[in-house]
């Protein structure tokens, strides 16, 4: 069981490091969104995607380790999460403290990323609203063809004769 816990600690440490890499990328993304630099945004999205792929690989590994722990403890792996594993390690205070510390760090990092991503989402939505506003403005200023053209007689005063109309008084 000790080797499985060590493997879990190793995976969680690696995840923690990778999540730490993701924070500055997400913060940089906010600055790029504000600058409205689409080329740089694509580049930062690619970088972010590479980091996420590494996290997903570690998540798979973590799931395997948790499944192994569930087998050893004769528990259902679906009911077993990191918090429950920490609770089950009462007889091993050293491992329990290490896992608890990693759990707290990961929780804090994920919360920070959620806040940054929420801010980025808001910035993107505001940018999209601004783009939509500009599109609506451009569309509303367009007038049907022919109505905004001038010719040499544009300054002549052409009075319409209102002699005949719907309400003709000469009937």
pLDDT for 150: 57
List per-block mean pLDDT (blocks of 10 residues) for the chain, which spans 171 residues: 88 96 93 89 94 96 93 87 89 91 95 95 89 84 56 54 49 49
**What pTM did the predictor assign?**
0.72
* Inside any domain, residue 51: yes
Q: What is the DSSP string of 50-95?
A: HHHHHHHHHHHHHHHHHHHHHHHHT--GGG--HHHHHHHTTT-HHH
The structural domain count of the chain equals: 1
Round to whole Å and give the CA distance between 69 and 1: 7
pLDDT for 165: 47
Pick from 105, 113, 130: nearest CA to 30: 113
pLDDT for 145: 52
* Inside any domain, residue 105: yes
Domain around 9 = 2-125
CATH value at residue 50: 1.20.58
| Euclidean distance between the first and the last CA atom of the chain, given in angstroms as a whole number | 109
* Inside any domain, residue 73: yes
pLDDT for 15: 96
Q: Structure tokens of 150?
A: 């001038």
Round to whole Å and give the CA distance between 113 and 143: 47
* Inside any domain, residue 35: yes
* Inside any domain, residue 74: yes
pLDDT for 161: 47
Neighbours of 158 (CB within 10 A): 6
* Inside any domain, residue 156: no
3-state secondary structure 93-149: HHHHHHHHHHHHHHHHHHHHHHHHHHHHHHHHHHHHHHHHHHHHHHHHHCCCCCCCC
């Amino acid at each position: 069981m000790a080797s499985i816990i060590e493997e879990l600690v190793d995976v969680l440490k690696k995840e923690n490091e990778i999540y730490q890499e993701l924070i500055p990328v997400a913060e940089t993304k906010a600055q790029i969104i504000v600058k409205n630099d689409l080329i740089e945004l694509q580049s930062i999205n690619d970088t972010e995607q590479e980091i996420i792929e590494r996290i997903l690989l570690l998540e798979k590994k973590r799931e395997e380790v948790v499944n192994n722990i569930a087998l050893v403890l004769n528990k259902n792996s679906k009911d077993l999460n990191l918090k429950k594993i920490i609770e089950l390690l009462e007889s091993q205070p050293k491992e329990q403290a290490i896992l608890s510390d990693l759990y707290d760090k990961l929780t804090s990092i994920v919360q920070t990323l959620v806040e940054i991503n929420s801010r980025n989402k808001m910035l993107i939505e505001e940018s999209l609203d601004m783009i939509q506003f500009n599109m609506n403005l451009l569309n509303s200023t367009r007038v049907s063809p022919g109505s905004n053209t001038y010719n040499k007689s544009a300054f002549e005063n052409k009075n319409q004769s209102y002699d005949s109309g719907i309400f003709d008084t000469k009937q």
